[in-house]
Structure 1
Amino acid sequence: MSTAKISGAPTGMVDPTATRESTPGHRFPRNLRNLWKLRSPLVPAVLLGASAFILYTLFSWLQWSSYAIRSWDLGIFTQLAKDYAHFQAPIVSIKGDGYNLLGDHFHPLLVLLGPVYRVFPSAFTLLVVQNALFALSVVVLSNLAIKHLGRIPGVCLGIGYALSWGLASAVDAQFHEIAFAVPLLALSLSALLEEKWRKAWIWAALLVFVKEDLGLSVLVLGLVMAHRSRKPAGLWLAVWGVGWFLLSTAVILPSMNPSESWAYSSQLNLGALFSDPLSLLNSEKVATTFLLVAITAGLCLFSPLTLIVIPTLAWRFLSDLEYYWGQEWQYSAVLMPVVFCAAIDALARRKVLDSAKLRLLSAVAIALIALALSSHYAFGKLNDAGKNFPTTHNVEAANALAAVPAGVTVETDITLMSYLVDRHNVYWIGNKNPAPQYVLIDVSSRSGVASNTAAMEAQSRFPGTHYVTVHADARFQVAKRD
C-alpha cells in the first residue's frame, strides 16, 4: 500500500503494515531495521576487530608467559605508566638515574596509560592496551572498506590489514608509543576519505603528541587534505604538524634531556646520503619499500595518501642504524593504516578499477598476500607455539623473581626486567647507577660461571659495597647488598 493511499484512506481504516511495525512486541520495528541498515558495515568490522584483538593478545600472552622479552622498552614504558598512575613525572630509572622520559621522545599522550595502569598494575597491561588500540584501527579501517567497497571486499581488506606485517612486527616488539598513533591515523584518514574534514583535522592533530617525528607525517597529511578539500584547513594542519616538530625537537626535548639536545638528531645522516646516494638502494630498504606496496597488491600507488609514508621512511632510511631499515620492530606499524587507506581510496575510485569483479579480486588478493606473508613474520610463530614460546625455564625465572622482595632497588639485565618493574625500582645494568639493594642477572649464556658471579661483579661496579648471593641456579643469580 503506497503512502498516498494510506493518507487518503477513509477515517478508521488501519494500515496493517503500519500496525505490525508500531506494535511494541514486534521483533524488528521500522526504526530499528533502519538503524541496522545504517550500522550494518560496523557489525563485521567489529567482529574483525575483536578477532584481531584475540589474536594479538594470544601472541602477547604466549610471549609473556614464556618470559620472551624482546627489549628493554616494555620495562621503560611500564615505569612511565607507573609514574603517571601516581600523578608523577615519568622518571625512568632504566634509562638512567633521574632520567625524565619526556626528554627522550615527545609523547605526552602516553599520560592516558596512567589510569589504566592504576587499575591493572602490570607490564602485561601495556601489551593489552596496545593490542586494543591496534584492534580499534582494524574496526575503523574495516568499517571504511565495507562501506565503500561492499561487504566481501571490505572484509578482505580488513583481514589483510589485521594480519599485515607491520602490525605483526609491532605486536612482537611489545609496547611502544606508536600504539596510539595507529588508531589516530586510521581515524583521521578514514574521516578524510569520507570528506569529514573537521574530524580528520582533529584526529591528525593529536598525532604530534604521540612522537615528535609524526609532526612531519601530519605536515604531509595536511597537504593531502588541502589538495582534496580545496580548503585552507589542510594547510593549517600542515603548519600545526611542522610547528610541533620544530618546537619539540628544538626546545622541549633538549630542555628535558640530560645532554640538552634532541637525542636522535645525530641519527639523521644527510652527509652519508649526499656522498653515497646509492645507499638508499640497500637491500633491506628496498625490501621494506617493496613490501609496503606489495601488502596492498600495488593499489596504494594509485592514491596520494601514500605520500604520508615518506617522512617515516625518510628518517629511517637516512639513519645509520640498520634495524630501522627492515620489517622487524615497531617502526612500520604507523605505515599500515596509510597504505591500506590508500588502497581503499584507489579501489573506491572507478578511474582505477572500473569493474566490480576486478575490485573484488583485488581485495581477495590483498587478504591472500597478508595470509601468505604472515607465516614469514611474527604471527608465523603461532604455528609452533611450543617451540617458539618455550616454558622450560619458567620455574627458574619465578624462583629468581621470588628472591627479590617488593619495594627494593634492583639492577638487572633485560631478561626479567619487565617482570620486576611493577614492584621494584629497576635499573639497567649497562648504565652508571647508584648502588642497588639487589642485583639480578641472567648467566645462562656464560661459561664457567661461579655461584657468586653476580655478587662479585656488583662489588666491582660499586667499590666499597659488599654483596652476598641469595639465589643461584644455572640460569639466574640474585645478590643482595650486605
Structure 2
Amino acid sequence: MHAPPTDSATLPTQQSALEEETVAQPSTESRSAVTWWIWALAGALFFTYMALSLRLHQRMLTNAFDLGIFEQIVRSYANGQLPVSEVKGPDFPIFGDHVSPVLALLAPLYWLWPSPSALLVAQAALIAASVLPLTAWARRTLGTMAAVLIGLGYGLSWGIASTLGAEFHEVAFAAPLVAFSVTALGTGRLRAAVFWALPLVLVKEDLGLTVAAIGLLVAKRGERKLGIITALCGLVGTLVAMLVVLPAFDPSGSFGRLLWLGNTGGGESSVGDLLHSATIGLITPQAKSTTLLLLLAPTLFLALRSPLMWIALPTLLWRFASDYAFHWGTTHHYSLVLMPIVFAAFIDALVRRRPNPSSLRRYLAGSVAVTFLLLPQFPLWQLVQPATWRHNPRIAVAHRLMDRIPDGATVQASNQLVPHLTNRTSVSLYGWYASRPNPEWIMVDTSVPLNLRWPQDAITERIALDTARAQQYRTVAEQDGFLLLNRRG
C-alpha cells in the first residue's frame, strides 16, 4: 500500500472537503443526546408561551370560541362523558364538529387543575416540546450555533405566535408529533417517522392527509410496504372521520360535505366553483399568496429544496380551497402544523447544500432577521408592550359579580366572560342563536369595544337586555358596565 500524496497542491482540496463534512456531520461527540441547553431553550420558550397565554386570559381577552368550547370538551372527558360543548349548543356532541379524541389526554390534568389555564399551560408545553427534535437535528448536522438560531427562529416564528394569540386548540398536540416525525424522516429513521405520525389521526380529521403524505415519503425512501400502509391508514382515518363520525354526531345532519368546502354553511358549491377552487382559487385572494410568502420567508425559500415540504401540501391545499376566509391567512392557529415541516425542510436543505461556514452563517443570519422583522406583527410582541401588564380594575369587578353565580347554574354570558365560567357552570354565549334558552343567570359586559364585540352589536344587545328585564329577569348587580341578571321564580 502507498501513502496518499501530501503535496501542497492537494491540501486545499482536502481542507475544503473537511469543512463541508464538518457542516453536514460536525462530530461524533455531537451525536449525543439532547444537551442541557436545548432543554433550556425549550424551557425558556415554554415560559414565554405560557406568560402570553395566561396574561391574555387574565385580561379577559380569551373567548367562548374557542377556549370556552375546549374547556367544556376537556371537562366532559374529566367527568367520564362523551365530549359536549354547551357553547356550541345545548348538549352539542363535539364529534359533530371536529374529531379530536386526543383531548381526552388532558383529563388527568383537569382533575388536578379544573381551569382553562390548565389547557393554556398544556398547549405551551406541547409547542415548546416541538423545539427539541428540530434543534437536536440541527445541532448534529449543522453545529451548535446553527441549532441555537434555528431553534429560536422556529420557536418565535409567526405560526406559533398566531396560535398562542388564538387561545387553545387541539392542533397543539400535532406540533410535537409532526416535529418528531419529520425529523425522523429527514434523518432516515423511517419507522420512527411512522411511529410519530400515526397518532395525528386522533388530533384532527384533516391530519390523516398529513399522515398519508408522510407515508408516501417513507415509501419513496425505501420502506415501500410500511409507507403504503401508513398512507392508507392516514387516508382511511380522514375518510372515516369526515364521512362517518362527523355526520353521525352532527345534530343538524348537514356535515356530509367535503373538507375543502369549509364550515361556513354557505350552501352548495357548483362544479364551476370547485374548478375555480382547484386552480385560480388556490392563490387568490391575496391572503393566500401572503401566507405562502410568509411561510417560506424565514427559511429564505430554501425549504423548497427539500422533499419534506411535500408534507405541507395537504394542509395548504385544503386551507386554500376552503370557502372560509380565516383559513387563508396568517392569523389563528391554522399554520401551527406547517411550522415544524417548514423548519425541518430548512434544516434538510442546508444539509443537502453543504454550505461552507461563511455561507451557512449568511443563511442563518437571514433566517433570524426575517423572524425578528415579522415578530412585531404577531401576538408574542405583546409581551413587551406596557399595556399587556397594566392593571385593569374592571376585571376584579367582573370576577366579583361572576362569583355570585352558583356552581352548576345555567348561564348565558358575554363572549369574553364565558371562559371564566366554563369550569363550574353550564354556560353558553349570550346573543348566540344556538345558546340554551331561558338560563337561570345572564351576565353581560355592555362596555365591550366595537372591535371585540360579538355576536351582537350594542343596539341589539341593549334591546335584548331590556326585553329580558321587562319579562322574566331581575337585575342582581350593575357595575362598571357589567350587568348581572337572575331569572325570577
> TM-score of the superposition, structure 2-length normalised?
0.85
Contact in 1 for aligned 2:127/2:176 (Cα 8 Å)? yes
| Displacement of 1:470 | 0.6
The equivalent of 2:482 in structure 1 is 476
Q: For 2:377, what is the secondary structure of its paired residue?
A: coil
Q: Runs of 5+ in structure 1 lacking a partner?
A: 1-34
- Per-residue CA deviations over 1:324-344 (Å, capped at 9, x if unaligned) read 111000000010010011111
- Per-residue CA deviations over 1:11-34 (Å, capped at 9, x if unaligned) read xxxxxxxxxxxxxxxxxxxxxxxx
Question: How far apart, CA to CA, are the structure 1 residues paired with 2:458 and 2:174?
Answer: 46
The equivalent of 2:398 in structure 1 is 397
The equivalent of 1:205 in structure 2 is 198
- Per-residue CA deviations over 1:80-127 (Å, capped at 9, x if unaligned) read 111111211112111111211122111111110111111111001100
Q: 1:389 to 1:197 in 2, by over 3 A?
A: farther
Contact in 2 for aligned 1:164/1:374 (Cα 8 Å)? yes
- Per-residue CA deviations over 1:192-245 (Å, capped at 9, x if unaligned) read 122222221111011011000111111111111211234321111111111111
| Displacement of 1:453 | 6.8
2:262 pairs with 254, 259, 267, which one?
267
Question: How far apart, CA to CA, are the structure 1 residues paired with 2:426 and 2:229?
Answer: 44
Q: 1:459 to 1:392 in 2, by over 3 A?
A: closer
Question: How far apart, CA to CA, are the structure 1 residues paired with 2:404 and 2:55?
Answer: 24
The equivalent of 1:433 in structure 2 is 436
Q: Runs of 5+ in structure 2 lacking a partner?
A: 1-27, 264-268, 451-456
Which has the larger displacement, 253-262 or 242-251?
A: 253-262
The equivalent of 1:333 in structure 2 is 336
1:307 aligns with 2:310: yes
| Displacement of 1:403 | 2.8
Question: How far apart, CA to CA, are the structure 1 residues paired with 2:405 and 2:71?
Answer: 19
Q: 1:47 to 1:364 in 2, by over 3 A?
A: farther
Question: How far apart, CA to CA, are the structure 2 residues paired with 1:416 and 1:448?
Answer: 16
Question: How far apart, CA to CA, are the structure 2 residues paired with 1:217 and 1:457?
Answer: 50
Contact in 2 for aligned 1:255/1:261 (Cα 8 Å)? no
- Per-residue CA deviations over 1:139-188 (Å, capped at 9, x if unaligned) read 22111211121100111110000000000000110100101011110111
| Displacement of 1:47 | 1.3
Question: How far apart, CA to CA, are the structure 2 residues paired with 1:311 and 1:36?
Answer: 38
Question: How far apart, CA to CA, are the structure 2 residues paired with 1:103 and 1:451?
Answer: 29
The equivalent of 2:280 in structure 1 is 278
1:130 pairs with 123, 135, 143, which one?
123
Which residues of 2 match residues 367-446 of structure 1 at below 5 A? Answer: 367-386=368-387, 391-429=392-430, 430=432, 431-445=434-448
1:74 pairs with 67, 72, 91, which one?
67
Contact in 1 for aligned 2:102/2:202 (Cα 8 Å)? yes
Question: How far apart, CA to CA, are the structure 1 residues paired with 2:397 and 2:272?
Answer: 49
Which has the larger displacement, 377-386 or 408-417?
A: 377-386
Q: 1:439 to 1:453 in 2, by over 3 A?
A: farther
Q: 1:390 to 1:267 in 2, by over 3 A?
A: farther
> Alpha carbon RMSD of aligned pairs, Å?
2.6
- Per-residue CA deviations over 1:409-432 (Å, capped at 9, x if unaligned) read 111221110000011111222124
Q: For 1:72, what is the secondary structure of its paired residue?
A: helix
Contact in 1 for aligned 2:205/2:242 (Cα 8 Å)? yes
Which residues of 2 match residues 229-244 of structure 1 at below 5 A? Answer: 229-244=222-237
The equivalent of 2:454 in structure 1 is none
Question: How far apart, CA to CA, are the structure 1 residues paired with 2:122 and 2:217?
Answer: 30
2:337 maps to amino acid = V
Q: 1:387 to 1:209 in 2, by over 3 A?
A: closer
Q: 1:335 to 1:449 in 2, by over 3 A?
A: closer
1:345 pairs with 336, 344, 348, which one?
348
Question: How far apart, CA to CA, are the structure 2 residues paired with 1:204 and 1:153?
Answer: 26
The equivalent of 2:81 in structure 1 is 88
Q: 1:145 to 1:433 in 2, by over 3 A?
A: same
The equivalent of 2:12 in structure 1 is none
Question: How far apart, CA to CA, are the structure 2 residues paired with 1:470 and 1:113?
Answer: 36
The equivalent of 2:188 in structure 1 is 195
The equivalent of 1:102 in structure 2 is 95
Question: How far apart, CA to CA, are the structure 2 residues paired with 1:448 and 1:414?
Answer: 13
Question: How far apart, CA to CA, are the structure 1 residues paired with 2:190 and 2:47?
Answer: 33
Q: 1:37 to 1:221 in 2, by over 3 A?
A: closer
| Displacement of 1:65 | 1.7
Contact in 1 for aligned 2:303/2:309 (Cα 8 Å)? yes
Q: For 1:126, what is the secondary structure of its paired residue?
A: helix
- Per-residue CA deviations over 1:325-382 (Å, capped at 9, x if unaligned) read 1100000001001001111111112xx2432331232123222221221111111222
Contact in 1 for aligned 2:53/2:120 (Cα 8 Å)? yes
The equivalent of 1:60 in structure 2 is 53
Question: How far apart, CA to CA, are the structure 2 residues paired with 1:227 and 1:261?
Answer: 38
User: How many residue pairs get matched?
Assistant: 443
Contact in 1 for aligned 2:86/2:435 (Cα 8 Å)? no
% identity of equivalent residues: 34
1:466 maps to amino acid = Q
Q: Which runs of 4+ in 1 moved over 6 A?
A: 446-454
Question: How far apart, CA to CA, are the structure 1 residues paired with 2:302 and 2:460?
Answer: 59
